[in-house]
Structure 1
Amino acid sequence: MNCELEHKIFSANPSNFDELALEVFEFQYQNNLLYRTYVDTLYTHKPSLKLAKDIPFLPIQFFKSHSIVSGSFEPELCFESSGTTGANTSRHFVKKAALYETSFFTCFEQFYGSVENWCVIGLLPSYLERKASSLVYMVEAMIKKSKHPKSGFYLYEHEKLAQVLSDLEAKGQPVLLFGVTFGLLDFAEKYQLPLKHTVIMETGGMKGRRTEMTRTQVHEELVAAFQTNAIHSEYGMTELLSQGYSKGDGVFHAAPWMRIAVREEEDPLSVKMNEKASGVINVIDLANLYSCSFIATDDAGRIHPDGSFEVLGRIDHSDVRGCSLMIAE
């Protein structure tokens, strides 16, 4: 049954999403004791549900205090958030590495085409110090699949990176540059290069390394330094196995098996989806089959009727994590 459901997830589309989400909910309610207890605490008994937005969303903080697993298994991967100094970190136990890889490769290809067409470069210095980073795992897998001889991580090797980018630009080679925010800003201060064939993918994260800036300010600096039309962004987190991508306008589009809703901060059970609304972001990630697919995050956001969304910052009581996007403007 589980293998059948795994395959169903990646056939998600607007017409069958609610049906699939309810099927995943049923599986997780029956096989995830913590989630079942949470649902029963909210509703006394399992609610009768008809729409995906009505499924109870588990507060993301539970990933810091509990093992969020659906079923009994030995995880192939365990991702851990960076957190802040002295803070508890979130842990995401992943039953199958192949499920994560299917999710991020399929999603990327829908927005950017085959990874093999790109030279993939990672400028993720702080994340490489954490081997349990889901972002590092994803970028490393993309580097390997690209098979380009210049694909790789460049840590703090700014001079080498500048030379590589210049050479690739001269050849017209499409380049995908994944960069943590402070790493991209540090690089831009030293080297101003016209990057016409390079997609700069900002992944968030200041980590106290710089004065906080809005996303708009960050992107304006990078656009000016690299003479490019737009800075792209990735929306992902330790607790998710799927991503959303923005191609430069601050509006993200998610994988077909991922859906964004917003809740009212004062009334968490008041959830809106598929309409224009602002609030705190809830995520349905069907790829989270063996953990929890229904997560109430600490990100403030805005959704649009077509399913796209914007990330406006963090709600006040939440801690700032390494992968979070910039503070609200």
Structure 2
Amino acid sequence: MLASHIFDIRTEPGFLKAALETFRYQYNHVEVYRKFVDYLKINPDEVTELSEIPFLPIEMFKNHSVSDRQALPELYFQSSGTTRMNLSMHYIADEDLYKESIEKSFGQFIGPPEDYIFLGLLPSYLERQNSSLIYMVDYLMTKSGKPENGYFLYDHAELLELLNTLAGKKVILFGVSFALLDFLDYCTAQQGEKILNASEQLIVIETGGMKGRKEEMTKDELLSILQQGFKTDKIYSEYSMTELLSQAYSLGKNEYRCPGWMKILVRNAEDPFAYEKEGRTGAINIIDLANIHSCAFIATQDLGKVTEDRFQVLGRIDHSDIRGCSLLVSEQ
């Protein structure tokens, strides 16, 4: 089975071999992906490099069931939005595989979940169902088993009080960006009350989520504000999305690293079949080999660049023209 070895990938040849195996499996078993590849007139048997693999536009998850016809879904995740229309749906056929991906990636970049208390400041995600982010944090809390673990909606006073009681303990605060800023605004309004007695042990992991909630700012500006407000350099970031089963982490400076079964390629924003050189900005393509039963090759609408073994996220492509998939997107 393909899933049995993806977490053991250690080399580029090993990754290429696994990616090509996954590509051919999904061509044969994921109908919408097969139609997409056929529409592009690509012969799977002639694909031998990562750059030759077709990447499915992420918008396809909004209009189609991107799933393995031989695997029954165990649960599904749904993207955020103001209405139920045009929300991405990601059907999960192997829940244990997702749990393993969560734990191994977190362990690689942060440490064993059992070592930490987990707090969640994720109001927009808690207020809806089927969030992959909430599932991830729930799972880490379960592995941690600490009695202090918990979520906070808008009760900033309760979160402030708890942080002040956890001095000297290892604490991770997962927070959507706008909620972290709202919390710091609340703390500032408390006439100088000290909020970070636990600052030496506290790690803040921001998960994105500024659109439509606060004035847009760059990632570097956000990280700077959070570092000053929480009085710590340990402002980390997590990069994932509803359509993925893996997470990349940044341990500062907006520089993300992928686990061994995940890779970022940067395509030309105007030509989806051309790739940018290292250090050049373009649109992000993601290979997530944990996505065995949906699609492991996704063309996102994020802008970024790759440098050596790291990548940066620089913003979004707005109103972009999705080439090569208009036929499939229009099908119902």
Asked whether the two chains share a fold, i.e. TM above 0.5, the reply is yes
Q: In the TM superposition, what are the counterparts of 1:1-329 in structure 2 within 5 Å? A: 4-15=1-12, 16-43=14-41, 45-46=43-44, 48-85=46-83, 87-169=85-167, 172-191=168-187, 193-194=195-196, 195-272=199-276, 275-306=278-309, 308-317=310-319
Q: Counterpart amino acid of 1:291?
A: S
Encode CA deviations 1:294-319: one digit per residue, 9 max, x unaligned.
0000000001122x10000001216x
Which range moved further: 91-100 or 202-211? 202-211
> Secondary structure of 1:269's partner?
coil
* Number of the residue aligned with 1:321: none
What percent identity do the matched residue pairs reach? 46
2: distance between equivalents of 1:155 and 1:53? Answer: 43
Q: Distance in 1 between matches of 2:81 and 2:16?
A: 33
Q: Match of 1:219, as an amino acid? A: L
- How far residue 41 of structure 1 moved from its aligned partner, in angstroms, is 1.2
1:44 CA drift (Å): 5.0
TM-score, normalization: structure 2?
Answer: 0.90
Can you list the C-alpha shifts for 1:226-249, whole angstroms capped at 9, x where unaligned? 111241110010000001100111
Contact map agreement 1:40 1:46 (CA 8 A) in 2: no
Contact in 2 for aligned 1:193/1:227 (Cα 8 Å) = no
State the AA in 2 paired with 1:125: P
Q: Return the TM-score normalized by structure 1.
A: 0.91
How far apart, CA to CA, are the structure 2 residues paired with 1:53 and 1:305?
A: 17
1 CA distance for matches of 2:304 and 2:313? 4
Paired letter, 2:9 = A
One-letter amino acid of the structure 2 residue matched with residue 284 of structure 1:
I
Equivalent residues of 1:202, 1:233 under 8 A apart:
yes
Q: Alignment partner of 1:266: what SS?
A: coil
SS in 1 for 2:104: helix
Q: Specify every segment of 5 or more residues in structure 1 that has no aligned partner in the other structure, as ranges.
A: 319-329
Q: Does the aligned pair in 1 maintain the 2:24–2:44 contact within 8 Å?
A: no
Q: Deviations over 1:163-183 (max 9, x none)?
A: 1111112xx111110000111
Amino acid at match of 2:179: G
Contact 1:280/1:301, CA 8 A, preserved across alignment: yes
Give the CA deviation at 1:108: 0.3
Aligned residue identity for 1:48: E
Taking the aligned partners of 1:217 and 1:305, their CA distance within structure 2 comes to 24
- SS of alignment partner, residue 43 of structure 1: coil
- Separation in 2 of the partners of 1:83 and 1:269? 30
Q: For the aligned residues, what is the CA RMSD? A: 1.7
Gap change, CA 1:256 and 1:272, over 3 Å in 2: farther
**Offset at residue 217 of structure 1 (A):** 2.1
Give the partner amino acid of 1:277.
R
Contact kept? 1:29, 1:35, Cα under 8 Å: yes
What is the aligned residue count? 312
- Counterpart for residue 326 of structure 2: none
Q: Quick one: structure 1 residues 5 and 44, their matched pair in 2 at CA, closer, same or farther if it must change by over 3 Å?
A: closer
Q: Secondary structure at the match of 1:288?
A: coil
Tell me if the contact between 1:257 and 1:286 (Cα under 8 Å) persists in the aligned partners: yes
Gaps of 5+ in 2: 188-193, 321-332
Structure 1 residue 278 displacement after superposition: 2.1
Tell me how far 1:86 sits from its aligned partner.
6.8
Q: Which amino acid aligns with 2:182?
A: D
C-alpha distance 261-44 of structure 1, shift in aligned 2 (>3 A): closer
> Which contiguous aligned blocks of 4+ residues in structure 1 show a shift greater than 4 angstroms?
84-87
Cα distance between partner residues in 2 of 1:225 and 1:113: 24
Structure 1 letter corresponding to 2:205: M
Indicate the SS of the match to 2:286: strand
Q: Secondary structure at the match of 1:10?
A: helix
C-alpha distance in 2, partners of 1:74/1:50?
Answer: 30
